[in-house]
Amino acid sequence: MPLDQPTEEDRQQASPKNVDKMWKFVEKFAEKSGSYLHPQREITEFLVIGLARHIDEVGRPLCPCNFYEDKAEEATRSTWICACEEMQKYKYCH
């Protein structure tokens, strides 16, 4: 089942500066850690947009795959951030 491509509306949810920053982050992280990005690039793009949006909102790249009751509070902790626990454990991004 093919996934829809991110739309321009999706891409506009985050600043281009932080989207670029997060693309560099996820690609470097995968390279350095031996992890793998999702084989469907559009899934990784949705992830990157979510990370960048969280930087815009709370100043930190909270994993967009998780629910946070209080994003601002979560951003102050040091136990969160992408690469998420799942990525670190399984070496694969959703």
Give the domain ranges of the chain: 14-90
3-state secondary structure of 92: strand
3-state SS class at 36: strand
Instruction: List the catalytic residues.
Output: 65
Q: Give the domain 14-90 fold.
A: Ferredoxin Thioredoxin Reductase (3.90.460)
3 state DSSP class of 76: coil
**Residues 24-40: what's their mean pLDDT?**
87
C-alpha 53/C-alpha 57 separation (Å) is 6
Summary mean pLDDT of the chain: 84
pLDDT above 80 (res 62)? yes
